Structure 1
Amino acid sequence: MKDPYEILSVARDAEPADIRKAYHRLAKKLHPDLNPGDKEAESRFKEAASAYDLLSDPEKRRRFDSGEIDASGAEKPPERYYRDYAAEAGPGYRYENQSGYADFMDNDDFLAEMFRRQARRARGADAHYRLAVDFLDAVNGATKRISLPEGGSLDVAIPPGLQDGQILRLRGKGGAAPGEGDPGDALVEVSINPHPFFTRHGDNIHLDLPVTFGEVVLGAEIKTPTPTGPVMLKTPKGSNTGTVLRLKGKGAPRRNGRGDLLVKLRIVAPMEPNAELEAFLASWAPANYDPRRDMKP
């Protein structure tokens, strides 16, 4: 949300009276009953009402200024997994407090009635959750279930290609409205668990693939994992450690297809002693072969 001080066009050290005057000025200009059918005016009025509700309450204003809550009045979430965390949606909503309408009710019956109607139509509060998903579920898509702290559960559809830190909005799954308005939304921030051998960079996925001496010197077809299942990868004859092979369309989904899987070959010597290999290497003395020739001073 926008900064409430900016919405009301007041300084951060503004006095309560100045905040009230700024809100009155905007409300008389933007109220939906005075601007029937004007969606922009209605949206700006809701922003102004929310901003005034926060700044007119000394405790809310103090907590916002100190960074304890955001501009919507919601607690800023701690760094925990979703099993331990869900912001308190509560039965109320930031428009539930009608203190911001008090001056109008005292001085202007017409505006007071409009504000009462607006309060009845206020939507419920948004609920905030965090959800950790596996790497391949984020790439390929899945459905995950959140256990809610107040009981029950919430099914979350993970769209294919989801990025770490994205927030999914589940409309109507938040707190109930205090009056006749619609329920709030559930906002689910997704964190992606690391994969043991895949890493993601944009729409491309990277893989370090262990290979033998023979598979790079002679060339081979190697069964290679991809996010959508194993495929046969052909290593060109004369490949080496660091050679990168591209599997097109085997990366993360995007709007016009999928990214690529970039496979970097990595030669791995046998872990156990091998007499046959040792005998061969002892007798192998290729001419003009010096892997450290570029490191000579």
Structure 2
Amino acid sequence: MTELVPRGFRARVAAYPPDEVDPTAWYAVTGAEWLRRLPGLLTDLMADWSLVPDGEVRWGAGAVAVPVTSPTGPAVLKVTWPHHEAVTEHLGLRHWDGHGSVRLLRADPRRFALLLERLDATTDLRSLPADAACGVIGDLLAQLRSPALPQVPTLTAYAARQLSKPAPFDVLPRRFVEQGRRLAAELVTGPELDAWLLHTDLHYENVLRGTRQAWLAIDPKPTAGDRAFEVAPALWNRADELGTGSSVRWNLRRRLEIVCEHADIAEDRAKAWTIVREVDNATDPAEGPGRASLAVAIIKAMND
């Protein structure tokens, strides 16, 4: 079943080290070692769940999604490289139960395997103008609003990790680094810091066309936190559409305003969390070269 593991996916995942947050966790494994297991894992899951592949395999940064025919109809088998962000994905999806998100049909958390309802993987929010897409994202964030689950990671822990990292003065201007660290310390004092169940990665490619609802969220990284943390992915994605010069600031602020209005999120807190997240993103090797330049542009727009 090696054909279910695309060559491009192998090339991307092969160099992954064990989980960066906890490399000693029970699930931690290098990308190369996991790829060696993946064909057998897919074979076993197909047999255990009575699935038959019936479409083009899609893949992202850390997962393969195989269209399948299941005993109950069309579905998608998603198998993810084990890492901390994927540990509780099934809990978030089960909690939302298809209300604003893809519906979870079955899960095997030990094998990082999910059986999901079939959506239209060829149509995501990149098919809409940015303003309309931001409105959809805001509407989905409002629909997904629900109390946090006790089993998921917290924003408090995320902020603590940011503050414990070496200050990245070699990547970003000192004033932005210091601002991000100050905001991370201040924001954790909020009364609702870990109150809500967050998706945390709701951007344009993580919203697919559905049938029972026009648009549905996929690929959550569930976290307990402040809802204002959710806005940033709509800003840093589709960056090639931001323009140049003063239009960059205008478009970034416009996106933030639309998402916040539709989701009923406070703009000031969204700006603050976006700065914290951008200081983090600028130093993440997985983000690729040039990410610091985008981080600077976004931080400047949040400060204007």
Report the TM range for the smaller structure's normalisation: under 0.3
Mark the structure with the bigger radius of gyration: 1
Between the two structures, name the one with larger relative contact order (CA 8 Å, sep ≥ 6). Answer: 2
Structure that is richer in strand per residue:
1
TM (norm. structure 1) is 0.26
Structure that is richer in helix per residue:
2
TM (norm. structure 2) is 0.26
